[in-house]
């Protein structure tokens, strides 16, 4: 889905948009850039090697982006581990779905807020999320009970709690405006997941494709592109919300009460900081809580 969004953004508005792709394979990343350059004519694409399963690498990526860029207009929080046959702990000792799909993106977002604040077009973070999910407070790393779907859903719930908290922290602050938007695609997207899932699931998906259940990554990009390019005023009206697109308009989805629970958000925020164990991230988070709230 990240590739679909990048493809569409690269081709619109007279190819004005500069796009930084993050990925864990240099070869795939560079091939993707070549493909998008030739289909869009946009030559302002770059690639940063980023393995979200390694917190040390996330720190390197933050430093690289900070050293090369003075501002960012938008971050797309999208990458995610999908189907997995079994639980394999990351080198940081965590459940990979929790770390890749949520925690690393928590760290990345907090450390890039200063660049979003510098955007002349109005900085924004678009979170690719789906409804449902819960935090397994007694077993966040899912050591007792593991399932890839449960892991994906827990990370989705965590991302939605994070964006609501960020929105609340930024509310009422003069001179520093960033919007935080949770978007759920209303159709299933025919993505690289199809190549990864087991054969019976793949056969079922292929049948469903012919029944029109899926949309392409490019269609997904077209649906989402306005969130990246709309003016700041419109973007800010969506901040803190969980939305989808139906009948050609963005509509709000009623958020679960457990996601909106401030104590639960703070608890997750604190746990996340402890797990990141990164001084700079802790300092940014403390500043946000002390100065902005
Ligand atoms: N497909 C849907 O219908 C749908 C619907 C709603 C939401 N979503 C969500 O949308 C997001 C994208 O899903 P998708 O369907 O596009 O799946 P996908 O085709 O599998 O894409 C996931 C991307 O995440 C990257 N990724 C995985 N582990 C990583 C790591 N450790 N470090 C860096 N990048 C990593 C993958 O990189 P590699 O190419 O190296 O594997 C891939 O580029 C996920 O969060 C998913 O849960 C999907």
pLDDT digits (tens, 9 = 90+) for 65-110: 999 999 999 999 999 999 999 999 999 999 999 999 999 999 999 9
* Tokens found for residue 123: 């900085």
Question: Residue 243 is inside which H or E element, if any?
Answer: strand 242-246
Q: What tokens does 50 get?
A: 């980023």
Residues 262, 231: Cα–Cα separation, whole Å: 29
Q: What stretch of H or E contains 61? A: helix 55-68
**Residue 82 Cα to ligand 1 middle (Å):** 6
Query: Ligand 1 centroid vs 152 CA: distance in angstroms?
Result: 11
CATH class of this structure's domain 79-292: alpha beta
| Across 217-241, average pLDDT | 97
* Top-confidence residue, 105 or 189: 105
What are the angstrom distances between the C-alpha of 118 and each of 21, 162, 177? 20, 21, 9
The per-residue pLDDT for range 150-165, each reduced to its tens digit, is 999 999 999 999 999 9
Q: What percent of the chain has pLDDT over 70?
A: 98
| Separation of CA 174 and ligand 1 centre (Å) | 35
| pLDDT over 50 (residue 293) | no
Break the chain into its structural domains and give their ranges: 79-292
Supply the residue whose CA is at minimum distance from atom 47 of ligand 1: 80
Residue 174 has a pLDDT of 67
Work out the angle at residue 168's Cα, subtended by the Cα atoms of residues 278 and 184, and round it to the nearest 5 degrees.
Answer: 90
Q: Which of 25, 94, 149, 191 for a ligand 1 pocket mutation test, highest count of atoms within 8 Å of Cβ? A: 191
Ligand 1 pocket, residue 191 CB under 6 Å: yes
Residue of 53, 82, 202 to test ligand 1 pocket, by largest number of atoms within 8 Å of CB: 82
CA quadruple 231, 232, 236, 240: dihedral positive or negative?
positive
Instruction: Please tell me the least confidently modeled range out of 174-188, 204-218, 276-290.
Output: 204-218
Which residue is it, tokens 């790393």?
A: 141
Ligand 1 centroid to Cα of residue 37, in Å, is 21
For 56, 82, 106, 208, the CA distances from 213, given in Å and listed in that order, are 39, 19, 32, 6
For a substitution probing ligand 1, which of 50, 155, 192, 194 has the most ligand atoms within 8 Å of its CB?
Answer: 192
| 130 ligand 1 Cβ < 6 A | yes
In this structure, what is the dihedral angle of CA atoms 191, 194, 196, 201, given to the nearest 10 degrees? 150
Atom of ligand 1 nearest to the CA of 188: 3
Q: Write out the two tokens for 164.
A: 């609501």
d(CA 192, ligand 1 centre) in Å: 8
Pocket test for ligand 1, best of 3, 7, 24 (most atoms within 8 A of CB): 24
211: confidence class by pLDDT, cuts 50, 70, 90? confident
272: phi then psi, degrees, rounded to nearest 5:
-65, -45
User: How is residue 79 written in tokens?
Assistant: 């990458």
Q: Which residues contact 70 (CB under 8 A, 6 or more apart)?
A: 115, 118
Distance 221 CA to ligand 1 centre (A): 14
Q: Inform me whether the pLDDT recorded for 22 exceeds 80.
A: yes
Grouping H, G, I as helix, E, B as strand and the rest as coil, residue 120 is coil
> Is the pTM higher than 0.85?
yes
Of the pLDDT bands very low, low, confident and very high (cuts 50, 70, 90), residue 205 is confident
């Amino acid at each position: 889905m990240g590739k679909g969004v990048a493809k569409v953004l690269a081709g619109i508005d007279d190819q004005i948009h500069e796009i930084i792709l993050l990925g864990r394979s240099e070869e795939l990343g560079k091939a993707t850039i070549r493909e998008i350059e030739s289909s869009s004519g946009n030559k302002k694409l770059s690639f940063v090697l980023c393995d979200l399963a390694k917190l040390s690498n996330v720190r390197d990526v933050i430093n690289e982006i900070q050293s090369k860029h003075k501002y960012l207009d938008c971050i797309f929080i999208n990458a995610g581990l999908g189907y997995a046959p079994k639980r394999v702990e990351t080198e940081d000792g965590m459940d990979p779905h929790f770390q890749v799909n949520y925690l690393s993106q928590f760290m990345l977002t907090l450390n890039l807020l200063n660049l979003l604040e510098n955007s002349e077009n109005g900085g924004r973070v678009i979170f690719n999320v789906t409804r449902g999910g819960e935090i397994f407070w007694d077993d966040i790393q899912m050591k007792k009970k593991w399932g890839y779907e449960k892991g994906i859903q827990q990370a989705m719930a965590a991302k939605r709690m994070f964006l609501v908290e960020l929105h609340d922290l930024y509310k009422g602050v003069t001179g520093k405006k960033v919007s935080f938007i949770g978007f759920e695609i209303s159709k299933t997207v025919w993505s690289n997941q199809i190549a990864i899932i087991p054969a019976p699931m793949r056969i079922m998906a292929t049948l469903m494709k012919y029944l029109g259940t899926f949309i392409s990554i490019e269609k997904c990009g077209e649906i989402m592109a306005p969130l990246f390019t709309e003016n700041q005023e419109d973007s800010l009206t969506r901040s803190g919300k969980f939305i989808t697109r139906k009948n050609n308009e963005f509509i709000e989805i009623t958020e679960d009460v457990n996601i909106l629970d401030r104590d639960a958000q703070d608890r997750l925020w604190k746990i996340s900081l402890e797990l990141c164990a990164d001084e700079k991230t802790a300092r940014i988070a403390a500043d946000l809580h002390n100065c902005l709230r």
